[in-house]
A and B are shown apart, each in its own frame.
Chain A
């Protein structure tokens, strides 16, 4: 008879077979057998966080920057409920996570035992799938299936709940052969005739537009390469969602900036006026579309997505191509190249007028702002940060709010997987723990969390994790003393009634950094900004940078939701339009 392994041993066997290197976790009563087993598995390193939400976001940062799934290990009850925010965040932004949670022993389930909660019940709506392991014989199969579900199709989080007695129970372990596709869910269903139809539309378009999203990133670095080849081949303008930034170089002339609520004037107007819209791996989110009835009214719409349920969910499309972005793009490129005198040359002439129009929109310089030599403008701070870090391969995470939008607008990404932000759920407190995870995956790279002072305080305790593992993350806090985006909306929509959006008692971030055992830097004048940013970059360990910026600055341009793309509010350079009145006010 072969050797018997305990449930805890099997957990590690499975993780080893899945080439897991890091676990982000926090111990507790119901996972102690698994923690006890940790010492016997030197290829797997455990990163001890300070709060389970931090473990979840760190695993997200790890996953999004490395392309590998993130592993989370938490205990029952509060351990599991604390990780719910991170699971929901990963679900909304399609990040592959495998969360293993301890559970009270099987005979106590349902008795309101100490630290018991209905973990699978609570996490059912925020995971792709979850399992409660009731029989040790199922454990191996479930764990491997968990990896399969999390990483295939549209990626997402899964959870495996393991009662403590199952962790002790013993059974055989055999490495599974190739797991069969879960219930035969196929992901590449597109046909050649759909590709032909796409090419037909491309060749006819006079005002085409490519709109890309996080699906391109999730499809892997090859998809970004294919996207670049495709976009250059057809010569079309390209815009990207928040999550798609980096798939196409941000400083390329064909890239016309991010679209949506805080996207550029040229990208949003082009979306509105185009006659062909090719959506590649994006999901027509409400921050993107504005008013649905008036969304891109004149265009034929194509949607390429791996998730069939994303198609026709919000916007009806004329051509749906269900498949992996990389596969679809490769087929399309191949087909275009086959056509001898196809669209390569003729198309670029046909759309030259369109490019002229886009150039006119560009001249509005919608990301412009009035700089100051007295206070640091937050946009200026992000721009300087970009200029001073663009020579090296830099990874940026963010929290949620104004600073997030300024980072997306002013930091130019040239590679995929360099930009980690909470888009779907909009989780304040995401960026710091995410930076921890990114730095774990890329120990020698520069990792910066562009943060707001309100957001970063939500998960500030993870600085302690960064210090423990010598992770030289840089927390670049754009400190305006307000919940900036809340303050902006209150200014524009609620008669400047700044209800509870000002933080009266903020910590001294420099002293806070020192308390955690890392470096604190403070900048309050534009003249000292560059020098201090350099000091931050050159410092070998973690840094909290308190960048004191103009507290009154607003994030423009802006589409109030309920408005179509061609009715943006521009910044102070365009004063007369800078007013939301009447109906528009109601719709933001």
Chain B
């Protein structure tokens, strides 16, 4: 027991944590991101990644995508607490394994080295839609879009091929098919 003279009861057994992607539609106003992020930190929930941008300028709506892990009870609380925030319109929740949803992250990779190494890099990135954004005689900036773990794998792999800098976005999500989340 961490604190034997605690004024509170000891933690009880917990469920198994799962990774979820939570999508929140909010009014794009000052402080709204702080409200959402503050809710997570204040209640001890974690954020693995975060992506946010305005998606509808006329209606002033932003879409926040948060990757988080938690027990089913915690995930439920996250959703219910988010829905209570005044600028929040709706909240969607997807499991990472969900086949009906597409998840994507983007990464910019800067590789410095001889031509041969750079070519090797490009080859390695092939399956992740590589786009060359900048090229010089001894460097290249490659954009790839992939899943989180795929990008993790790539950045590890490219280390030995001259990867010197990585910039990544958080995950964003979209359901497959014609339906939209209401």
What is the 8 Å Cβ interface bit string for chain A, positions 16-41, against chain B (1 contact, 0 not)? Answer: 00000000000000000000000000
What range describes how many residues of A lie at the interface?
20 to 34
Assuming the contacts A124-B38, A128-B86, A183-B88, asked whether A308 and B31 have C-beta atoms less than 8 A apart, the reply is: no
In contact, A293 and B80 (Cβ under 8 angstroms): no
B5: A residues at CB distance < 8 A? 493-494, 585-586, 588
What is the 8 Å Cβ interface bit string for chain A, positions 304-334, against chain B (1 contact, 0 not)? Answer: 0001110111001000000000000000000
What is the 8 Å Cβ interface bit string for chain B, positions 21-51, against chain A (1 contact, 0 not)? Answer: 0000001001100110010001000000000
Some 30 contacts from A to B, beta carbons below 8 A apart, are: A121-B31, A121-B34, A124-B38, A125-B38, A125-B42, A128-B86, A129-B86, A183-B27, A185-B83, A286-B8, A286-B9, A290-B9, A292-B9, A307-B84, A308-B80, A308-B84, A311-B80, A312-B73, A313-B73, A313-B77, A489-B7, A493-B5, A494-B5, A562-B8, A562-B9, A562-B10, A585-B5, A586-B5, A587-B9, A587-B10
What number of A-B contacts does a CB cutoff of 8 Å give? 69
Which chain A residues have a beta carbon within 8 Å of chain B's beta carbons? 120-121, 124-125, 128-129, 132, 134, 149, 182-185, 286, 290-293, 307-309, 311-313, 316, 489, 493-494, 561-562, 585-588
In contact, A120 and B31 (Cβ under 8 angstroms): yes
Which chain B residues have a beta carbon within 8 Å of chain A's beta carbons? 1, 4-10, 12-13, 27, 30-31, 34-35, 38, 42, 73, 76-77, 80-81, 83-89
A562–B7 Cα distance when bound, in Å, is: 9
Q: Which residue of A lies closest to B39 (CB)?
A: A125
A312: B residues at CB distance < 8 A? 73, 76
In contact, A309 and B81 (Cβ under 8 angstroms): yes
A286–B11 Cα distance when bound, in Å, is: 12
B42: A residues at CB distance < 8 A? 125
Q: Which residue of A lies closest to B88 (CB)?
A: A183
Q: Which residue of A lies closest to B34 (CB)?
A: A124
B80: A residues at CB distance < 8 A? 308-309, 311
> Looking at the complex, which one of A120, A183, A313 makes contact with B86 (CB distance below 8 Å)?
A183
In contact, A309 and B77 (Cβ under 8 angstroms): yes
> Looking at the complex, which one of A124, A149, A308, A489 makes contact with B35 (CB distance below 8 Å)?
A124
A286: B residues at CB distance < 8 A? 8-9
B7: A residues at CB distance < 8 A? 489, 561, 588
In contact, B77 and A149 (Cβ under 8 angstroms): no
In contact, B9 and A308 (Cβ under 8 angstroms): no
A183–B61 Cα distance when bound, in Å, is: 12
Assuming the contacts A286-B9, A587-B10, A588-B7, asked whether A308 and B86 have C-beta atoms less than 8 A apart, the reply is: no
